[in-house]
Amino acid sequence: MPLTRRDFAKRSALAGAGVALAGSAGVLATAPGALAADAARAADGGADGPGHPAGYGPLLPDPDGILALPAGFSYKIVTHSGVTTLDSGESTPSNHDGTGTFAGHRGTTLLVNNHELKGPRANWPHPVPLAEGLVYDPAAAGGCTVVEVAQDGTPVGEWVGIAGTSTNCAGGTTPWGTWLTCEETEDKAGEHGMTRDHGYVFEVDPHDRRAGRDPEPVKALGRYAHEAVVVDPRRGHLYLTEDAAGPNGLFYRWTPPQGFHHGRGRLRTLAGDAGVLQAFKCFDSGGRFVDDLSRATRPGTVYGVDWIDVPDRDARTTSVRKQFKDGEITRARKLEGLWWADGGAYVVSSYAREESPVRHDGQVWFYDPRRRTLTLKVLLGVNPDPGEDGAFDGPDNITVSPYGGLIIAEDGEGVQHLFGATEDGRTYPLARNELNIGTAGKPEYSEFTGPVFSPDGRTLFANIQEPGIMLAITGPWKRQPRRR
């Protein structure tokens, strides 16, 4: 049922102060000068009083040239493409991306790690090995590995979770303990060397290698350039992002069919047309249609949301996002990370340029399914000098920290960080990638991907996408203070 203007006015009044981040109200807002302002505030005692700056202090250069961290923090390399090997003896695949964590046996942690490898296997020196019984398309290079680590972050083993998929970008964990891996591609059989259609979501069970045999996509969730997915544990809906342009991508909701109950392996039993796949349509408090999320230029902006049925979710002749006319749905550039917390979904739009009505260097939104509202929580202004350390741009993968606020992986230009955004709007650096994959004259630093805490909250796992390194970060974690 669509929201009426009166319903939305009531709901926006309630949500206008911002949806809670980890239990606290307050709108997050950052800009290129925010970090410098925080540093200056901390230097002279700041509004928080002595000893209460956001974050963990300045980042210290790494003598090994991999990861700069605050004092007291350290890291371990868990996997490294071309260096570490799987239990089978083959090389760890490259291009690490989205990652999920699960409690393993005897205090271990299981991680399912996406490998964003597009196109034919011959294009990549370290593709995901074609493990027997776990292959969807033998021509494709991507897939997932499952990594087991001890409580102190020491690697125990690594094996293939699924192979023969393409461009496995992000994904999401499920309440029933599995991983949904997303293909960020629309390649069909016969295109770019593929022998089967791609652009789907697949389920990987980190606890049961047999559950993934003879993998088949969850076609009910549609075929498009999938980025990430989350599950509403109360209502059973799945929310999905699309990273695409020409035209910009969409935010989707899948409603399960009546009588369906979620559980391990049950999604793959569904028919391709099961349930209802819909794209979002936003409008402001005056009832005016919003064509693109970049229109929002003030943190705290609240939009109402309607959901519009997708005509052909398998995109047999036309890409899903191209099946809608102007005015039917709302678009956004580079809809990327998703994380379910606080009763709703945090949604990232990485940046907007000339393909969007208004430019920005990143947004984080919160979708409240109860109120059916979308609230702008983080807005990154256009970074004037990405090569200089300081400002942040291009948020991508995201997680909600057990210590308050958000941890965001930067996929922008120039310097790359993991950075935090506190519950009351401050930003702070948590890590900086120091692995130069360019040259001394033209340095280049790969994006961070897959930030996620271990189930006990003691270890933050994150990846440097190229060449493909998984890191376990530990240190004196603390609850991030709020200004008084």
Nearest CA among 131, 236, 117, 125 for reference residue 181: 117
Q: Which phi and psi (to 5°) does residue 51 adopt?
A: 80, 10
Place of tokens 């989350």: 230
- CA distance linking residue 283 with residue 424, whole number of Å: 26
For residue 271, what are the contacts with CB-CB under 8 A and spacing of at least 6?
219, 220
Tokens for 395, please give them: 């948020």
In this predicted structure, what is the pLDDT of residue 52? Answer: 66
In a domain, 479, yes or no: no
In the chain, how many H helices and how many E strands?
2, 27
Tokens for 78, please give them: 């868990």
In this predicted structure, what is the pLDDT of residue 425? Answer: 65
Instruction: Work out whether the CA dihedral 55, 56, 58, 59 comes out positive or negative.
Output: negative
Give the burial class of 4: count Cβ atoms within 10 A of its Cβ; 0-12 exposed, 13-18 middle, 19 or more buried. Answer: exposed
In a domain, 98, yes or no: yes
Q: Which helix (H) or strand (E) holds 173?
A: strand 168-173
pLDDT of residue 39 exceeding 60: no
In a domain, 484, yes or no: no
**4 touches 11 (CB < 8 A):** no
- CA distance linking residue 261 with residue 275, whole number of Å: 12
Three-state secondary-structure class, residue 255: strand
Q: Write the pLDDT tens digit of every residue in 141-188.
A: 999 999 999 988 899 999 999 999 999 999 999 999 999 999 999 999
For residue 51, what are the contacts with CB-CB under 8 A and spacing of at least 6?
none
In a domain, 258, yes or no: yes
- CA distance linking residue 478 with residue 438, whole number of Å: 35
**35 touches 432 (CB < 8 A):** no
**396 touches 370 (CB < 8 A):** no
Q: Read off the DSSP letter of residue 287.
A: S
Quickly state the pLDDT bin for 22 (edges 50, 70, 90): very low
Q: Which phi and psi (to 5°) does residue 310 adopt?
A: -80, 125
pLDDT of residue 6 exceeding 80: no
pTM above 0.75, yes or no: yes
In this predicted structure, what is the pLDDT of residue 381? Answer: 87
Tokens for 466, please give them: 């190229």
Beta strands in 272-372 (DSSP E): 276-283, 289-290, 302-309, 335-341, 344-349, 363-368
For residue 380, what are the contacts with CB-CB under 8 A and spacing of at least 6?
30, 31, 32, 351, 360, 361, 362, 363, 391, 392, 393, 395
**248 touches 356 (CB < 8 A):** yes
Quickly state the pLDDT bin for 427 (edges 50, 70, 90): confident
In a domain, 409, yes or no: yes
Residue 152's CATH number: 2.120.10.30
Label the pairing between strands 406-410 and 417-421.
antiparallel
Q: What is the mean pLDDT of the chain?
A: 88
- CA distance linking residue 188 with residue 197, whole number of Å: 4
In a domain, 86, yes or no: yes
In a domain, 480, yes or no: no
In 10 A of CB 20, how many CB atoms? 15
In this predicted structure, what is the pLDDT of residue 393? Answer: 85
Quickly state the pLDDT bin for 238 (edges 50, 70, 90): very high
- CA distance linking residue 425 with residue 313, whole number of Å: 38
- Rounded mean pLDDT of 415-439? 89
In a domain, 202, yes or no: yes
- Peptide bond just before 50 cis, omega within 30 deg: no
In 10 A of CB 35, how many CB atoms? 22
Q: Identity (one letter) of the amino acid at 424?
A: D
pLDDT of residue 434 exceeding 70: yes
**330 touches 293 (CB < 8 A):** yes
- Rounded mean pLDDT of 388-393? 80
**452 touches 398 (CB < 8 A):** no
Between 14 and 207, name the one with better pLDDT. 207
Structural domain that includes position 274: 5-474
**142 touches 126 (CB < 8 A):** no
Nearest CA among 389, 292, 390 for reference residue 332: 292
Q: Write the pLDDT tens digit of every residue in 101-131.
A: 999 998 999 999 999 999 999 999 999 999 9
Q: Which phi and psi (to 5°) does residue 107 adopt?
A: 80, 0
How many separate domains does the chain show? 1
- CA distance linking residue 415 with residue 417, whole number of Å: 7
